[in-house]
Amino acid sequence: MEVELTKDEQIEKLLEDLKSSNIRKEDWEFHDTDRSIYSTGTGLNRHVVEEISEIKKEPDWMRRFRLNALEIFMKKPVPTWGPDLSGIDWDNTHYYTRPDEVKARNWDEVPDDIKNTFQKLGVPEMEQKYLAGSVAQYDSEGVYHNLKKVWEDKGVVFMDLDSALKQHPDLVKDYFCKAVPASDNKFAALNAAVWSGGSFLYVPKGVQIDMPLQTYFRMNGEATGQFEHTIVVADEGSKVHYIEGCTAPRYDTDSLHSAIVEIYVQKNAQARYTSVQNWSKSVYNMPTKRAWVEENGQMEWVGGSLGSKVTMLYPSSYLRGPYASTHNLNISLAGPGTIKDTGAKAIHLAPHTSSRIVAKSISIEDGKAIYRGLLRMNKGAVNSKSHVQCDALLINDESTSFTYPHDEIYEPTATFGHEATVGRIDTEELAYLRSRGLSEEEASSMIVLGFMDDVMKEIPMEFAVEMNRLVKLEMNKMGAVG
């Protein structure tokens, strides 16, 4: 029988865990020697886009789609309503880098240097222990994909998007850039023009997968871009949990990550998308993530956003059918020199729809955390309801947090609530933990982890452990709390 620990015993256990953690930024920010076999070079023009499509031997409709998206990208301005993006060096970025010709289904077939990278990140071990399948992408290309046979036999499709375009072209065409059109924003247009890799996951009607599927994205090159495109389709009555992990080494020059994630939750289906992103502080992270949720469908977003130089991220759900629902839980940690402009969007288009958004941010030193959200109840979304909760924790005097909610309620029968809190680390709690033998950094880490608890418990265990380690790493680098 499990014995419940007293408060003092819990503190002693947490202290042991903190002191025994081997926390090193080298675990994530290492980089390999550049052994890429092909690159389109720096800069972006029509020739580069045609070259990417030719290398991949794509159908003509995709080549034409890319070129149209490039025209949109060139015409759209860089967004100026959020963080300063003038540091993105469009002309000196590599938009396509191929690491190897291999697309393996066994880790033994992956080139040793690439395989060693993923072993350092623990990806093969996680696949063996926790996952129904996994995809691994290195720079611009998927290098590995595998799905357990039991799910293949049930008709599940899970592979990198390039492979899916070759093997399931009609299925890909049905969903590609439908939820996120190239005209949506400048970074969506960029992705549609130069996308490479990502995942395609299709779960047939009635199939309920009881283990997560994971894609891990690794950006290795300097002054490079990663533009994966992910499509998840949960067909009628199905259930799936998809996980993404992302890391990149730190360089003196900046890189750009501009992904698209499209999720289609059909009638009576359930989908959960979990993402733990730990980009280095030389990466501009500018993804577009969107779900279409049909009648009685359930969509869950669970996100942990750490690292990066600037992140702008707002997962959105379009509730298109009656009784559709979405639940968005997000943790954002703005460390020193970092801007996290994050939030969520819920668009209620049908009756009896519901949404819940919980956003928690932590700002350390001069880190800036911004919540930017959109909640819209369209006319006709009868008896729909939504609740938004934003909580911010400031660690230092120079830490900042801002909240910019945007709420549009056009349906008189709808109900909506919004609450927000901003606070600092409680000095009495800090003093008590210090009296138990913790250093200031260790005590602060414990308070921060407690602040994140209601979101952390929704993250799969292996990712929650990584999140804990990353938070402790930021706190340990911070030095004294002021």
Which pLDDT value is given to residue 429?
74
**pLDDT per residue over 443-469, tens digit each?**
777 777 777 777 777 766 656 666 666
Domain count, the chain: 1
Is residue 1 in some structural domain?
no
Is residue 293 in some structural domain?
yes
Look at residue 426 and tell me whether its pLDDT is greater than 60: yes
Is residue 380 in some structural domain?
yes
Q: Which residue has the tokens 């029509």?
A: 46
Is residue 176 in some structural domain?
yes
Q: Angle between the 123-130 and 461-478 helix axes, to the nearest 10 degrees? A: 140
Is residue 95 in some structural domain?
yes
Is residue 322 in some structural domain?
yes
Q: Which of 96-100, 188-192, 304-308, 444-448 holds the top average pLDDT?
A: 188-192
Which pLDDT value is given to residue 31?
47
- Give percent of the chain with pLDDT exceeding 70: 75
Q: Which domain holds residue 274?
A: 7-478
Q: Which two tokens stand for residue 315?
A: 């997962």
Is residue 2 in some structural domain?
no
Average confidence (pLDDT) over 223-241: 93
Look at residue 299 and tell me whether its pLDDT is greater than 90: yes
Provide the terminal-to-terminal Cα distance of the chain, rounded to the nearest Å. 43
Look at residue 144 and tell me whether its pLDDT is greater than 70: no
Look at residue 40 and tell me whether its pLDDT is greater than 70: yes
Look at residue 135 and tell me whether its pLDDT is greater than 90: no
Look at residue 368 and tell me whether its pLDDT is greater than 50: yes
**pLDDT per residue over 311-351, tens digit each?**
999 999 999 999 999 999 988 889 888 999 999 999 999 99
Which pLDDT value is given to residue 25?
46
- Give percent of the chain with pLDDT exceeding 90: 51
| Global pTM value | 0.86
